[in-house]
Structure 1
Amino acid sequence: MTSTASIDYSTQNGLDLMLDIVEGRSPGAPLAKTLGFTPVTAERGHVVFHGTPLQHTTNPHGGVHGGWYGAILDSCMACAVWTNVPAGSAYTTLEYKVNIIRAIPQGMKVEAIGTSDHAGRSTGIARGEIRGIENGKLYATGSTTCMIFKIP
Structure 2
Amino acid sequence: MPEQFLPDNPDQLPTRETTLSMSGLEFMQKILGGELPLAPIANGLNYQLHSVKPDEVIFRGAPGFDQMNPTGTIHGGWYGTLLDSAMACAVMTRVAKGSVYTTLEYKVNIIRPIPSGMTVDCVGTVEHAGRSTGVATGKIIGVDDGKLYATGSTTCIIMTPK
TM-score by length of 2: 0.91
Over aligned residue pairs, what C-alpha RMSD do you find? Answer: 1.0
**Mind listing any 5+ residue stretches in structure 2 that lack a counterpart?**
1-7
Task: Report deviation, 1:101.
Answer: 0.2
CA shift at 1:151, angstroms? 2.3
1:5 maps to what in 2?
A: 14
Equivalenced residues, count:
152
Residue 3 of structure 2 is matched in structure 1 by none
Aligned to 1:139: 149
Cα gap change, 1:114/1:48 in structure 2, threshold over 3 Å: closer, same or farther?
Answer: same
2:104 aligned to which of 89, 94, 104: 94
CA contact (8 A) 2:20 2:100 kept: no
- Residues 36-77 of structure 1: per-residue CA shift (max 9 Å, x gap): 011111011000000010101000001000000000000000
2:19 maps to amino acid: Y
Instruction: Name the counterpart of 2:139.
Output: 129
The answer (yes or no) to whether the contact 2:14–2:36 under 8 Å persists in 1 is: no
Aligned residue type for 1:28: L
Please tell me the residue identity of whatever aligns with 1:33. Answer: N
What is the percentage of aligned positions where both structures have the same residue?
A: 51
Runs ≥4 residues deviating over 6 A = none
Residues 117-145 of structure 1, C-alpha deviations (whole Å, 9 max, x = no match): 11111100000000000000000000000
Q: Displacement, 1:6?
A: 4.0
Task: Identify the match of residue 17 of structure 1 among 24, 27, 52.
Answer: 27
Q: TM-score, normalised by structure 1?
A: 0.97
Aligned with residue 94 of structure 2, among 72, 75, 84: 84
1:2 is displaced (CA, Å) by 3.8
Asked if structure 1 preserves the Cα contact closer than 8 Å seen for 2:101 and 2:157, the reply is yes
CA contact (8 A) 1:2 1:27 kept: no
> What is the alpha-carbon distance in structure 2 between the residues aligned to residue 10 and residue 99 of structure 1?
33
